[in-house]
């Protein structure tokens, strides 16, 4: 009796527990880091009296478990707490950072799916022939280039040498849509590796499926090639691709620090980086909750998609 | 007691000031705080200032936690924004001596413990006059015992309960002890004058100051836009608008500058500067002698409690190699004293250079042959780990084994304050007096070399009680001679502070230490 509803419920319950575990772990790790927010704020003026005063003003002199409980109690009311460093609500940090991150992720995924699947199908259709060879080797090659290297290369060529595109999004703030040209290079960098991995997965899945006895049988029945490919073979390739896609979306939504830093896009990755450097525990925890929930939901979604397309694969809860 | 430009967090932000000194391209003007002292960095003459335009300036920033509260300023970006919106009573000239700003003049009594300060006639952006009440409110806010504002320690010598207004434009400051360098306090980092009654929330939504620019908009961690204040007491800025944008990566700041997205990029790497210097695409401005670079030896514990060992270490250092290696050549050698080029600097002492034989002999005398020490370092500041590695190799030639230990960069300054024996150290610009009072007195709060000497403390008090400047200079010289001979700071160099500007940006002062008056002074800049 494992209907889709009880499957979803079990997964959500498990996901909730996982998120709590992540938050606890993040809290423990942040506490374990050398120095605290007061030390980080004092910087190179580590006057002990001043550090003590900052610590007191931030209520860091209270035991760790008390601070965690207070924060958890607030979270139950949807209150993420306030930043130690600025005193502003953590929710504004998340809202402000989420906009640019979400925008980049949406554009990237919108382009990623047709590109990745299309390339994969193209390669699979021409398995072993020059088209396949070219697609396979190019995707492998591009996949091997780290984001920062590709980013620097693209900026140098397209922004600084040719002057076609702006090198960064500096000064545009959250109004990135108002400056679409500034989004081209970051999206290209974000697309580069996921397109390759997705295309290779789709290709592999389709090649397997096209070799399978049921496709051979379908062909013997005289079903047209296109229908065999897209209605029978492709769905089998989608299952692993969906999981990969979920991981990619998760990666995108948690803020890709390298791209944000290189192109000056103030997204969630930047918020997280700053918060950790400042030992701003409430902000780090708030982000941990958001990232945890996102990961759980995305993986659940991917499992449901995989379940729908390839029920026999038997997705374990 | 004197807090200064220490800048928190990320390494590349930390503790640097630019220093005044011969800017490569600087033509003139030894910025003494008067109005027309900007030199033209572009070397092309510059011509007469042109009014108008918006300048976009890229700084490394503090992310979403940034604030416009000037008393909370701690990063370069904070300081640059604060000085656009606000004024201090005094500010530092190129030699780090205090220059009058909102204060028109100051005068001490005979015993140097009461100072009468007269304000000039200036107005806040809402049209109200800057009065003694605003000054006292601002200082009392900074000194609030429940808060931890950075300038609190600097204002410590002032007895704010006893100090009072002597009229709308007059304030009598009562001090806890004689303080000959009282004007330095008025110029302290973060000691900005805000309107009477201004509170925390005002600063981020509608900050009102008396500075050259007035508030338009602010998005923490992204940008701040200010517009010219036409009634500025020193004359309205040339620019219509100044926009501060935040780009933490140096490569992003350079790219934005090259791509025409900003006109001013703060804090560039020496390698970037070399790649673009003289290429005609952008202008590189080097603020020479900016950040002191050195090693701090703890003089209260073995092996550095023996002054012969300290002297041996002074002689082990090949300073030029350190400058070339750790600073990529963007700097000059140091002479184990802080504040090259600043007021009171003991420039007559002979330049120390490497002498391995003498170093070995000293170590032998001290019974410290085959010495092993652990050198603390961290990626907290540019060049730290490189300097540690280079010095390790230099020390090996004198038979000293140095074990380099990497520390966390977020808590480095706090970690090295009390533990370890020798560590990488650096400091931004501040008056020599401030360096001494913060770091070299028995009760100094950040005494990383554990330099505790009653007679040295007494000399400092003597200097602070000496009204005559020549006599005072002589006392400072005595103190510096002692530090040169047996102090705990091995100062091997002074790093350049590097800015990049677009070709059409004029009036950028090259003889301006970071956080001094003429550094990031956008009211004197114009677009040609």
pLDDT tens, position by position, B506-524:
999 998 888 889 999 999 9
Is the residue at A114 inside a domain?
yes
User: Is residue A7, in this structure, part of any structural domain at all?
Assistant: no
Query: What is the H or E stretch that residue B297 is in?
Result: strand B282-297
Residues 184-223 in B contacting A (C-alpha not used; CB under 8 Å)? 200, 219-223
pLDDT of residue B71: 93
* pLDDT score, position A2: 53
Mean pLDDT value across residues A30-51: 82
Q: Does B245 touch chain A (CB under 8 A)?
A: yes
3-state secondary structure of B10: coil
First to last CA, chain A: 13
d(CA B166, CA A284): 50
What pLDDT does A312 receive?
61
B62·A277 Cβ contact <8 A: no
Both B437 and B343 in one domain: the answer is yes
pLDDT in tens, A226-266: 888 888 788 877 878 888 888 899 888 887 888 998 999 88
Local confidence band at B33 (pLDDT 50, 70, 90 cut-offs): very low
pLDDT digits (tens, 9 = 90+) for B254-282: 999 999 999 999 999 998 999 998 888 99
Q: Are residue B357 and residue B434 in the same domain, yes or no?
A: yes
Report the CATH number that the domain containing residue B120 is assigned in CATH. 3.90.76.10
Contact in structure between B459 and B475 (CB atoms under 8 Å)? yes
Give the pLDDT band of residue A33 (cuts 50, 70, 90). confident
Share of chain A above pLDDT 70, in %: 96
- Stretch B48-65: mean pLDDT: 90
Contacts of B67 in chain A (CB under 8 A): 86
Determine, for residues A43 and B446 on separate chains, whether the beta-carbon distance falls below 8 Å.
no
Q: Which 91-120 residues of chain A touch chain B by CB within 8 A?
A: 92-93, 96-97
- Quote the pTM value: 0.86
Question: Residues B492, B508: one domain?
Answer: no
Note whether A262 contacts B63, CB cutoff 8 Å: no
Are the C-beta atoms of residues B66 and A271 closer than 8 Å to each other?
Answer: no
> Mutate which of B190, B219, B224, B255 to test chain A, going by most A C-beta atoms within 10 A?
B255
Which residues of chain B does A87 touch, with a Cβ-Cβ cutoff of 8 Å?
A: 200
The CA distance from A189 to A149, in Å, is 9
Domain with A216, as residue range(s), is 90-309
Q: Does B468 score more than 90 pLDDT?
A: yes
Q: Which of A43-52, B60-69, B83-92 has the lowest mean pLDDT?
A: A43-52
3-state secondary structure B93-139: CCCCCEEECCEEEEEECCCCCEEEEEECCCECCCCCECCHHHHHHHH
Q: Does any CB of chain A come closer than 8 Å to the CB of residue B14?
A: yes
pLDDT at A77: 84
Q: Which of A48, A85, A160 sits opposite B258 (nearest CB)?
A: A160
At residue B18 the predicted structure's pLDDT band, cuts being 50, 70 and 90, is very low
- Which of the residue ranges A7-21, A170-184, A250-264, B1-15 would you say has the lowest mean pLDDT? B1-15
Cis peptide before B339 (omega within 30 of 0): no
CA-to-CA separations, A4 to A35, A95, A235, A300, A311, in angstroms, rounded: 47, 32, 19, 11, 11
B495: enclosing H helix or E strand:
strand B489-502
Average pLDDT, chain B: 88
Instruction: Report ipTM for this prediction.
Output: 0.84
**Same domain as B81, residue B98:** no
What is the pLDDT at residue B32? 37
User: Distance between CA B296 and CA B290 in Å, rounded?
Assistant: 18
In terms of domains, do B98 and B75 share one? no
Same structural domain for residues B324 and B221? no
The DSSP output letter for A82 is B
- Residue with token string 């992204």: B222
The CATH number of whichever domain residue B479 belongs to comes to 3.10.105.10
Q: Quote the tokens at residue B208.
A: 């009102």
- B194/B217 same-domain check: no
Structure tokens at A172: 């545009």
Whether residue B316 is found in the same domain as residue B463: yes
B107 exposure class (CB count in 10 Å sphere: 0-12, 13-18, 19+): exposed
Do B101 and B11 fall within a single domain?
no
Who contacts A29 (Cβ-Cβ below 8 Å, separation ≥6)? none
* B475: its two tokens: 């006392």
- If contacts are CB pairs under 8 Å, which of residues 228-287 in chain A contact chain B? 261-264, 266, 270-271, 273-275, 277-280
CA-based nearest residue in chain B for residue A182? B261
Give A102's DSSP letter.
H
Q: Which of B147, B152, B256 lies at the smallest CB-CB distance from A168?
A: B256
- Asked whether the beta carbons of residue A163 and residue B259 sit closer than 8 angstroms, the reply is yes
3-state helix, strand, coil in chain B (%, to 5): 30, 25, 50
pLDDT digits 0-9 by tens, B73-112:
888 999 999 999 999 999 999 999 999 999 999 999 999 9
- Give the pair of three-digit tokens for residue B417: 């304050």
Tokens of A123: 């390669």
Looking at the 3D structure of chain B, how many domains does it have?
A: 3
* Calpha distance B416→A102 (Å, rounded): 41
Mutate to test the interface with A, among B3, B5, B64, B423 (most CBs of A within 10 A): B64
Residue B441: what pLDDT?
95
Answer with the residue of higher pLDDT: B292 or B148. B292
Nearest Cα of chain A lies from the Cα of B64 at a distance, in angstroms, of: 7
CB B263 within 8 A of CB B502: yes
- A38 within domain boundaries: no
Domain range for B10 is 1-86+211-281+503-528
Number of domains chain A is built from: 1
| Mean local confidence (pLDDT), B250-255 | 93
How, if at all, do strands B264-266 and B489-502 pair?
A: antiparallel
| Residue B367, token pair as written in the block | 């019974």
CATH no. for residue A122? 1.10.3720.10
Question: Which one, of A162, A202, A170, A163, lies nearest residue A186 by Cα?
Answer: A170
What is residue B46's predicted lDDT score, i.e. its pLDDT? 59
The burial of A59, by beta-carbon neighbours within 10 Å (0-12 exposed, 13-18 middle, 19 or more buried), is given as exposed
The shortest CB-CB distance from A35 to any of B261, B408, B445 is to B408
Tokens 């002191």 locate to B292
Model pLDDT, residue B34: 36
Q: Do B120 and B55 fall within a single domain?
A: no
CA atoms within 13 A on the CB side of B285: 34
pLDDT at A44: 78
Q: What is the pLDDT of residues B194-245, one digit of tens each?
A: 999 998 778 888 999 999 999 999 998 889 999 999 999 999 999 999 999 9
Best interface-test mutation with B: which of A45, A85, A166, A184 has the largest number of B CBs within 10 A? A45
Nearest-CA distance B151 → chain A (Å): 11
In a domain, A123, yes or no: yes
Same domain flag for B69 and B132: no
Q: Which tens digits make up the pLDDT trace of A170-195?
A: 878 777 888 888 899 999 999 999 99
- Low-confidence winner among A278-287, B18-27, B489-498 (lowest mean pLDDT): B18-27
pLDDT on residue A86 = 84
Contacts of A97 in chain B (CB under 8 A): 64
A174 touches chain B (CB under 8 A): yes
pLDDT digits (tens, 9 = 90+) for A206-222: 888 888 888 888 888 88
Q: Which among B180, B204, B228 is the end of a domain?
A: B204
Contact partners, residue A11, CB within 8 Å, separation at least 6: A296, A300, A303, A317
CA A219, A224, A226, A227 dihedral sign is negative
Summarised one tens digit per residue, pLDDT across range B336-383 is 999 999 999 999 999 999 999 999 999 999 998 899 999 999 988 888
């Amino acid at each position: 009796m494992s209907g889709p509803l009880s499957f979803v419920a079990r997964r959500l319950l498990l996901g909730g527990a996982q998120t709590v575990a992540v938050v606890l772990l993040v809290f423990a790790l942040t506490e374990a880091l050398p120095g605290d927010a007061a030390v980080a704020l004092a910087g190179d003026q580590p006057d002990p009296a001043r550090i003590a005063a900052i610590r007191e003003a931030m209520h860091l002199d209270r035991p760790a478990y008390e601070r965690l409980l207070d924060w958890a109690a607030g979270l139950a009311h949807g209150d993420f707490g306030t930043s130690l460093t600025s005193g502003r609500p953590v929710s504004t940090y998340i809202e402000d950072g989420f906009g640019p991150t979400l925008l980049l992720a949406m554009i990237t995924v919108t382009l990623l799916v047709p590109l990745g699947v299309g390339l994969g199908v193209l390669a699979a259709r021409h398995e072993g022939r020059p088209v396949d060879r070219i697609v396979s080797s190019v995707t492998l090659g591009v996949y091997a280039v780290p984001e920062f290297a590709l980013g620097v290369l693209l900026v140098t060529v397209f922004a600084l040498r040719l002057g076609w595109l702006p090198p960064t999004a500096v000064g545009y703030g959250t109004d990135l849509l108002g400056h679409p040209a500034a989004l081209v290079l970051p999206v290209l960098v974000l697309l580069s590796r996921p397109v390759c991995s997705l295309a290779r997965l789709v290709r592999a899945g389709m090649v397997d499926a096209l070799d399978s006895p049921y496709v051979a049988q379908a062909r013997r029945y005289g079903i047209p090639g296109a229908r065999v490919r897209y209605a029978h073979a492709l769905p089998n390739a989608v299952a692993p691709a969906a999981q990969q896609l979920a991981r990619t979306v998760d990666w995108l939504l948690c803020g890709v620090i390298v791209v944000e830093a290189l192109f000056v896009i103030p997204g969630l990755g930047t918020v997280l980086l700053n918060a950790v450097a400042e030992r701003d525990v409430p902000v780090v925890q708030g982000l941990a909750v958001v990232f945890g929930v996102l990961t759980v939901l995305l993986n659940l979604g991917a499992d449901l998609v995989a379940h729908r397309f390839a029920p026999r694969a038997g997705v374990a809860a | 007691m004197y807090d200064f430009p220490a800048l928190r967090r990320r390494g590349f932000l930390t503790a640097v000031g630019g220093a005044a000194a011969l800017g490569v391209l600087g033509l003139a003007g030894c910025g003494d705080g008067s109005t027309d002292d900007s030199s033209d960095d572009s070397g092309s003459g510059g011509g007469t200032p042109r009014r108008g335009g918006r300048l976009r300036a890229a700084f490394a920033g503090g992310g979403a936690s940034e604030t416009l509260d000037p008393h909370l300023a701690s990063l370069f970006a904070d300081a640059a924004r604060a000085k656009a919106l606000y004024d201090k009573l005094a500010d530092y000239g190129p030699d780090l001596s205090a220059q009058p700003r909102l204060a028109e003049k100051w005068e001490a009594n005979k015993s140097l413990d009461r100072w009468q300060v007269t304000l000039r006639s200036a107005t806040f952006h809402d049209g109200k006059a800057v009065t003694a009440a605003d000054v006292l409110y601002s200082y009392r806010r900074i000194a609030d015992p429940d808060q931890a504002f950075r300038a609190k320690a600097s204002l410590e010598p002032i007895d704010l309960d006893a100090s009072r207004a002597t009229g709308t434009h007059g304030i009598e400051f009562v001090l806890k002890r004689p303080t000959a360098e009282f004007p330095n306090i008025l110029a302290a980092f973060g000691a900005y004058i805000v309107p009477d009654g201004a509170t925390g929330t005002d600063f981020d939504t509608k900050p009102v100051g008396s500075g050259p620019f007035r508030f338009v908009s602010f998005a923490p961690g992204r940008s701040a836009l200010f517009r010219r204040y036409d009634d500025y007491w020193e004359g309205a800025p040339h620019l219509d608008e100044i926009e501060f944008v935040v780009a933490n990566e140096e490569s992003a700041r350079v790219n934005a500058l090259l791509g025409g997205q900003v006109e001013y990029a703060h804090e560039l790497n020496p390698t970037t500067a070399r790649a673009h210097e003289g290429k005609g695409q952008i202008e590189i401005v080097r603020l020479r002698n900016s950040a002191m670079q050195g090693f701090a030896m703890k003089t209260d514990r073995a092996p550095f409690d023996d002054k012969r060992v300290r002297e041996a270490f002074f002689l082990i250092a090949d300073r030029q190699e350190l400058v070339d290696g750790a600073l990529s050549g963007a700097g000059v050698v140091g002479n184990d004293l802080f504040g090259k080029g600043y007021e009171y600097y003991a420039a007559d002492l002979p330049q120390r250079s490497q002498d391995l034989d003498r170093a070995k002999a000293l170590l032998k005398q001290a019974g410290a042959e085959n010495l092993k020490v652990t050198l603390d370092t961290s990626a907290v500041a540019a060049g730290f780990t490189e300097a540690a590695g280079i010095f390790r190799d230099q020390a090996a030639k004198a038979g000293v084994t140095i074990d380099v230990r990497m520390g966390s960069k977020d808590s480095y300054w706090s970690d090295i304050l009390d533990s370890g024996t020798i560590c990488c150290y650096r400091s931004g610009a501040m008056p020599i007096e401030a360096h001494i009072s913060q770091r070299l007195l028995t009760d100094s709060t950040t005494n990383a070399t554990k330099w505790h000497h009653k007679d040295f403390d007494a000399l400092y008090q003597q200097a602070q009680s000496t009204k005559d400047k020549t006599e005072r200079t002589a006392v400072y010289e005595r103190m510096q001679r002692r530090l040169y001979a047996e102090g705990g700071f091995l100062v091997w160099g002074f790093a350049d502070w590097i800015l990049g500007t677009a070709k059409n940006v004029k009036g950028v002062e090259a003889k301006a230490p970071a956080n001094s008056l003429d550094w990031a002074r956008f009211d004197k800049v114009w677009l040609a």
